[in-house]
Structure 1
Amino acid sequence: MTFMADVIEASKETPVIVDFWAPWCGPCKQLMPALERQVKAAEGKVRLVKINIDENPGVAGQLGVRSIPAVFGFKDGQPVDGFMGAQPESELSKFISRLSGETDPKDEAAALVERAQASLDASDPGGAAQDFAQALQLDPENGTALAGLARVYLDMGNRDMAVEMIDAATGPLADHPDVASIRSELSLGEAAPQADTPDEVDTELRDATASVAANETDLDARLVLAKALAARGRRAEAVDHLIYAIGRDRMHDDEAARKFLLTIFEAEGTDSEISIDGRRRLSSILFA
């Protein structure tokens, strides 16, 4: 076997699947016959090259193979897809379809996003994260997948990773509604005064609530309270205070209450009851 001839050059004519394996690898023995069946079912649309890493350590090292089984798909002389570990035959079929050009990666990404959202509904954030990440590999411009993965990170307490992902979004991806929603979600957490302990959180809320109770027309105190409530997930209550402030003086502090209210709406999404009710109430004030 000559890697340059049998893989690089050959893939310029027909996509080539390279299966890195070893005789001592149990999962390799499970994967190989399944992969062979799927390649045969493709009826010549792809070729399969099997490389024993014990006999060809240099090739495996050049491609960064650290564990096996490892499978790479080559097309036009370049690696364009791949995976590690055993896979069910349904996934192998999809892999081959992508490589042979029979499947639109965007369509497969959309299916993965749908499955990820179902995983979230079933309280399986780990499975959702895996599918969102795979969808992004297939379609890097899938805003729903990016926002979904960032939201999983946020819900699991990894705020820094969520912020990093959203900040890295550029161009049309940055303006995607789902990305804008999670960006607003993150900004709500930044809006409130920061507290280091649960006692400090309680104190912030208590002080802000007391300020509003002492002077209900103190619109600055209302905004502080609204931000504290929103940052802690009590958005319906935050909306109530913001609507009150806008009704009293919509131009106060350069329309700070209205702007923060729109941030809540964006974070909630258009289908949220909080957004629907809040927008109705806001319209009744602005267009009265």
Structure 2
Amino acid sequence: MSGSGYSVGGSFGGSLGGGYGGGYQTNAPQPAAPAPTPAPAAKVPAAELIKDTTTQTFMTDVIEGSRDHVILVDFWAPWCGPCKQLTPTLEKVVKEAGGTIQLVKMNIEEYPEVAGQMGVQSIPAVFAFKGGQPVDGFMGAQTEGEIKKFLERIGVQIGPSDLDVMLEKADELRDAEGYPEAAQLYGGALSLDAGNVQALGGLAMCYLALGEKEHAQQMLGMVAEDKQTSQHYIAAKTALELAEQAENLDDLGDLRARVEANADDHQARFDLALGLNSNGDKTGAVDELIELIRRDREWNEDGARTQLLQFFEAWGFKDAGSAYGRRKLSSILFS
């Protein structure tokens, strides 16, 4: 690279050449994989996991940076279709690696010098740098599994990420009704991945349990539209709707008295189920709806069964209340 004062890649980069076609060149020989070695211990700060570089900053960002941790350099361009497929997958893998690797992206349309020196002639092209040197690479769009296998070849073992561990612990605490502690962990997860739908949904559920409905609504409002089919979002949204339904109910004692006075007061029994769920009594809520179904399956256009399914959606498939409800529902529907 003229005037750069340093050299990168040499014959290694040249072996990945091909022609600017935006895809993988099958006739390009791959470099021999190095023997796996443990990844460097230094952790990349969350804010630095993914960054862009330039010709001027490449030495600091990549050459020097890779002496502390593995760096993937993604050579891309705005017009490259396969690049648009690969980059989000790379970003996902890097985020899941818990700070053991970093993704540095270089737009070759704006900064062609380094790619040219390394012999990159087809994109997307990804190089792994370790110890100040490129050690392996690939071209073309790859699946998440293929990228992880590539990383294993260079000694990077991706187990559960810090994010995954944090979310798992947060879910456990929430299931055990440790809502303040779970909320703290969900908040920590959002500091690693601001748009994480599991964290946003979990935090919304914590806020609901703590009686802070407006904060729950704010969390759900932060979920990207393309992630609103996630079960984490759906469960939290359904739980919020149930909480809103329960706001205008009569006192539970009054509802129970009405049911005891008239076992066929279906609306009172239905409202009692909503109130019991709002108070955290899932078993009681299930029992009341099951009894309503037993007495009048067609009431309110199958309203009791529909409400029960909505409970399951809010509680989650693996929840003990959902499992109990499914057993009771099956026994009455197929008896």
TM value normalised by structure 1 = 0.59
Q: Deviation per CA, 1:162-185: give whole Å up to 9, x if none.
A: 123224535452121222222222
Q: 1:128 aligns with which of 174, 185, 188?
A: 185
| CA–CA separation in structure 2 for the residues paired with 1:164 and 1:266 | 20
* Matching of residue 261 in structure 1 with residue 308 in structure 2: yes
Does the Cα contact within 8 Å between 2:205 and 2:216 map onto a contact in 1? yes
Q: Shift in Å at residue 153 of structure 1?
A: 2.9
Q: Shift in Å at residue 264 of structure 1?
A: 1.3
Q: Which runs of 5+ in 1 are unaligned?
A: 1-6, 18-35, 47-74, 77-92, 196-202
| CA–CA separation in structure 1 for the residues paired with 2:172 and 2:283 | 26
**CA shift in 2, pair 1:14/1:241, >3 Å:** farther
Q: 2:252 aligns with which of 191, 202, 205?
A: 205
Q: Deviation per CA, 1:92-111: give whole Å up to 9, x if none.
A: x955723448799x956434
Q: Shift in Å at residue 128 of structure 1?
A: 0.5
Residue of structure 2 in register with 1:176 after alignment: 230
- RMSD of the TM alignment (CA)? 4.0
Q: Shift in Å at residue 243 of structure 1?
A: 0.4
Residue of structure 2 in register with 1:98 after alignment: 102
**CA shift in 2, pair 1:14/1:190, >3 Å:** farther
Q: Which runs of 5+ in 2 are unaligned?
A: 1-51, 77-96, 105-127, 129-150
Does the Cα contact within 8 Å between 2:186 and 2:200 map onto a contact in 1? no
Answer 1 or 2: which has greater helix percent: 1
Aligned residue identity for 2:68: A
| CA–CA separation in structure 1 for the residues paired with 2:209 and 2:56 | 43
| CA–CA separation in structure 2 for the residues paired with 1:164 and 1:251 | 37
**Structure 2 counterparts to residues 268-279 of structure 1, below 5 A:** 268-279=315-326
**CA shift in 2, pair 1:122/1:216, >3 Å:** closer
Residue of structure 2 in register with 1:224 after alignment: 271
Q: 1:247 aligns with which of 294, 297, 311?
A: 294
| CA–CA separation in structure 2 for the residues paired with 1:283 and 1:122 | 28
Q: 1:41 aligns with which of 52, 68, 80?
A: 68
**CA shift in 2, pair 1:193/1:155, >3 Å:** closer
Residue of structure 2 in register with 1:188 after alignment: 242
**CA shift in 2, pair 1:161/1:275, >3 Å:** same
Q: Percent identity?
A: 29
Aligned residue identity for 2:290: I
Residue of structure 2 in register with 1:152 after alignment: 206
| CA–CA separation in structure 1 for the residues paired with 2:288 and 2:177 | 34
Does the Cα contact within 8 Å between 1:112 and 1:135 map onto a contact in 2? no
Does the Cα contact within 8 Å between 2:276 and 2:285 map onto a contact in 1? yes
Q: Deviation per CA, 1:220-260: give whole Å up to 9, x if none.
A: 11112111221121221111111011111111112221111
Q: Deviation per CA, 1:195-235: give whole Å up to 9, x if none.
A: 7xxxxxxx611211111111101111111211122112122
